[in-house]
Chains A and B, each alone.
Chain A
Amino acid sequence: MPVVGDAAPGDPVEQTAARMRALGLDHEVLDPAATHADLAERIAQSVSLDALVSDSGGLDPTAFDSSWPTADTE
Chain B
Amino acid sequence: MTDIGEAGRALRSGRTTSRTLTEASLAAATALDGELAAFVALDPDGALEAADDADAAIAAGRDLGPLMGVPVAIKDIVDVAGLPTRCGSPAYPATPAATDATLVRRLRRGGAVIVGKTTTHELACGVYSPPVSNPWDLGRIPGGSSGGSGAAVAAGIVPMAIGSDTGGSIRIPASLCGTVGLKATYGRVSRSGVAALAWSLDHLGPLTSTVEGCAASLEVLAGSDPLDPSASSRPVPQYSSGLDRGVDGLRIGVLGGAPLEPMQPDVAETFAASADLLGGQGAAMVGVDVPELEHGLAVEFGIVAPEAGAYHRELVRSRPDQIDPGIRTLLVAGLMLEPEHYFKALEARRAIAEALRMAFVRNRLDALITPTLPATAAPKDADDFWFGDAAEPVTLAYVRTTGPFNLSGLPALSVPAGFDRDGLPIGLQVAAAPFDEETALRVGACFEAAAGIQARRPPIHASG
Contact = CB atoms under 8 A, between A and B. Distances in A.
Interface of A: 4-5, 16, 19-20, 23-25, 27-30, 34-35, 38-39, 42-43, 45-46, 48-50, 52-53, 55-59, 61-62, 64-65, 67-72, 74
B357 A68 contact: yes
Contacts of B350: 56-59
Given A52-B295, A61-B200, A62-B230, A25 B250 contact: no
A35 B309 CA distance: 14
Contacts of B433: 68-70
Contacts of B200: 61
B263 interface: no
B320 A42 contact: no
A24 B341 CA distance: 21
Interface of B: 185-187, 200-201, 230, 232, 250, 292, 295, 298-299, 301-302, 305, 316-317, 320-321, 325, 328-329, 332-333, 335-338, 341, 343-354, 357, 360-361, 364-367, 409, 432-436, 438-439, 442
A29 B439 contact: no
B347 A43 contact: no
B250 to A, nearest CB: 6
B341 A43 contact: yes
B212 to A, nearest CB: 19
Contact of B351 (A52, A69, A71): A52
A49 to B, nearest CB: 4
Given A42-B341, A53-B351, A64-B409, A25 B332 contact: yes
Shortest beta-carbon contacts, A-B, top 3:
A56-B351, A64-B434, A53-B347
A61 B186 contact: yes
A65 B357 contact: yes
Contact of A35 (B299, B336, B432, B434): B336
Secondary structure of the A contact surface, majority rule: loop
A26 B351 CA distance: 37
Contacts of B302: 42, 45-46, 49
Given A25-B317, A70-B436, A19 B329 contact: no
A73 B52 CA distance: 44
A43 B306 CA distance: 13
A7 B343 CA distance: 21
Most buried by A among B301, B320, B337: B337
A24 B339 CA distance: 18
7 contacts: A24-B317, A25-B335, A52-B352, A56-B348, A61-B200, A61-B353, A71-B432
Contact of B354 (A45, A57, A61): A57
A71 B366 contact: yes
B90 to A, nearest CB: 14
A55 B295 CA distance: 15
Given A4-B337, A23-B336, A67 B295 contact: no
B438 A72 contact: yes
Contacts of B357: 65, 67-68
Contacts of B434: 64, 68
Given A30-B332, A35-B329, A70-B432, 19 more contacts: A4-B338, A20-B332, A29-B325, A35-B333, A39-B337, A46-B302, A49-B344, A49-B345, A56-B350, A57-B347, A59-B349, A65-B354, A68-B361, A69-B364, A71-B250, A71-B367, A71-B438, A72-B436, A72-B438
